[in-house]
Amino acid sequence: MLLRKYEMPWRRPSELLASAAWTAAAAAFVYLTPDGMPVKLGLCSAAASLLMASIRMRQGLHIVKVRAALSGRAMEMISTRTLAKYIQQDDQLFLGFGFEWTPVHSQRLYELSKIDYKDYLISPLVQKVLGYAIGRSYVIQPQPDAEIGLPILHGVSPVEQPLYRPLQNFEGGTVIVGTTQAGKGVMLGNLLTQAIKRGDVVIILDPKNSKRLKRIVMQACHDYRDPDTFLWFHPAFPEKSARIDFTFNWQKPTEIASRLESILPPDTAGAFTAFAWNAVNVVCQGMVTLERRPNLMKLMRYIEGGIEPILEACLRRHYQTLFGAGWRSRPDMAHLLDKSSRGLIKAPSPSASADLLAFVAYYELLLPEAQHDKVIDSQVGVFRHNREHYQKITANLLPILSMLTSGDLGKSLSPNPFDPDDERPIMNFEKIERGGHVLLMCLDSLPDPSVASAIGALALADLAARSGMRYNLGGYRRITLAADEVSNVINQPLIEILNKGAEGGIYSIVAMQTISDLVNRLGSQDAARMALGNLNNLIAFRSKDQPTQEFICETFGKTGIHSMKVGRNTASDGHLSDFTSVTSQQVTEELDDAIPPSMLGKLPNLQYFASVSGGRLIKGRCTLLDPGPEDAEEAA
């Protein structure tokens, strides 16, 4: 049985010579029949010879067919309109062209690693001649020698076809891995084009500002949607960007503090992060009490400048509610106001007004405990806190807020809807979802990685909160979230989205170069693997990093690989004519990687291996999408 399974196509097609011999034999039988050979015997012999000739011809052409594919396939470019022909059904995801990887392909690849594949290439002229002879061509456009990578990785199969998988198989998230310029952006553009055509809400985080990706997304919006659904955000071009308020949607004020906590630098003990969370929460609770909407600039103002304006406004409202319009004329309050105006009440903060000192004194000394308010209690605690110590323990929060509120970026992330001179659209994730928009957020990480990381992390924290709202309320529209160079923005909210986002209708696609990038960002190998464990589908382009190759091959699993050992032994007993000769063949099988790790570093551009749909292994290639004219981007 092992011998029947074993295949060695990397050899000369000797079957064609045998076919020619059988054809000559058939001709000889036909020629000899009139000269004395019985007619029936001659014709039967000729028919048997032709049958054997056809069998051998088929076997030989199979070898030629397999060897012809070793030339690979060149890169192709198609338009978004052409892509639409392959995605007629919205419940199917088109993954390019290729074939399902089977143990036969693994066996062929292992055999090729033992030989020089160039010795077995079929010349283009022979391919054309054979193609014309049998009515088909084996290779359309062979991979040029100048292109990166080995053509044999796609050439182990002589036939390829459009690759489709059910869309629901990708609800568990997809990770695209590959070194720079290997094809991650092309695959991302293909998947996003399909999402736009399906009518998904699309949110893209692009740290490096890929102009090609922007043009592809704009072209897809032009082809399949209203071009006005496209939104662009870029911190370096605020005049062309949409304004986005990441603190607009919330169900509880504590959510805003949690969003800002997610973008803070790592804190081993957790004390500084906890205090920063409390500082933001106190301000948010006070603003909500005063019916003011929090945003980043207001939070920065009250955390850096002091809680005093919020506390004073809250106390005024509280006393108005308790005592009515004449609360300032109450004897005990009037006494404290007079005392404060003469500087007889010690101020813990130089920015505290005389009225505030009297209000706080009345609240602490004269107001019954039953009439206290928890929100005001927290504000008074911050007010009484040592100012220098307060600034020290919020030192990790203020730089982040300062980055997000400086200059034009502050106006973009904390939009003022009453500014008549600013006509840029004001968006938030709820509004983006209801409008069915496509948002491309270019984070500009090359010149300013700290700000880019903070913006991306804050956007993900807001989206995670929105996902929770959608899960609680139901009746949502599908959202496709794509994060390129995910190591620049990954945080706990993104991990929560990967883990639970599908329940809220958010389906994620993330792209990265190496596992080491995630380890550096998350702090440990275990944390990186935990994050990747939330992604059910893996698409691997060329990868040079050994730990990443090992992770990919670990995901792809193992298969049985056959090896043939040939032995020959001769012996003589001393007499000239007496000797023995023994020839043996042994086929063994052992488990090995379905794809050798070293081959992942030799993939041509735009070609990939993928594990999708719960372990289905495929070999595919992407086609370049025509991004349209460059002037379209300038016009936008």
SS (H, E, C) 593-633: ECCCHHHHCCCCCCEEEEEECCCEEEEEECCEECCCCHHHH
Instruction: Say if strands 537-540 and 438-442 run parallel, antiparallel, or are unpaired.
Output: unpaired
572 belongs to a structural domain: no
- pLDDT of residue 560 exceeding 60: yes
Containing structural domain, residue 62: 2-71
User: Of 19, 46, 71, which marks where a domain is finished?
Assistant: 71
pLDDT tens digits for 430-488? 999 999 999 999 998 888 888 888 899 899 999 988 888 888 777 678 999 999 999 88
pLDDT tens digits for 94-106? 999 999 999 989 9
**Range 350-376 average pLDDT:** 92
Cβ neighbors of 483 (< 8 A, separation 6 or more) are 204, 205, 456, 460, 489, 490, 494, 508, 509, 510, 511
- pLDDT of residue 636 exceeding 60: no
Buried/exposed code over 475-491 (b: 16+ C-beta within 10 A; e: otherwise): ebebbbbbbbbbbbbbb
- pLDDT of residue 172 exceeding 70: yes
476 belongs to a structural domain: no
User: Of 370, 404, 438, which marks where a domain is finished?
Assistant: 404
Q: How many domains does the chain have?
A: 2
347 belongs to a structural domain: yes
User: Of 371, 388, 404, which marks where a domain is finished?
Assistant: 404
145 belongs to a structural domain: no
User: Cα(493)–Cα(476) distance, rounded to whole angstroms?
Assistant: 20
41 belongs to a structural domain: yes
CB 282 within 8 A of CB 379: yes
User: Cα(303)–Cα(299) distance, rounded to whole angstroms?
Assistant: 6
What pLDDT is attached to residue 632? 52
Q: Output the pTM of the full model.
A: 0.85
47 belongs to a structural domain: yes
Q: What single DSSP character describes residue 156?
A: T
- pLDDT of residue 64 exceeding 60: yes
What pLDDT is attached to residue 69? 83
229 belongs to a structural domain: no
Q: What percent of the chain has pLDDT over 90?
A: 41
pLDDT tens digits for 83-127? 888 988 888 999 999 999 999 899 889 888 888 888 888 877 777
User: Cα(599)–Cα(105) distance, rounded to whole angstroms?
Assistant: 13
Count how many residues are written for the chain. Answer: 636
User: DSSP readout, 254-279?
Assistant: HHHHHHHHTTSPP-SS-HHHHHHHHH
What pLDDT is attached to residue 5? 54
Chain mean pLDDT for the chain: 86
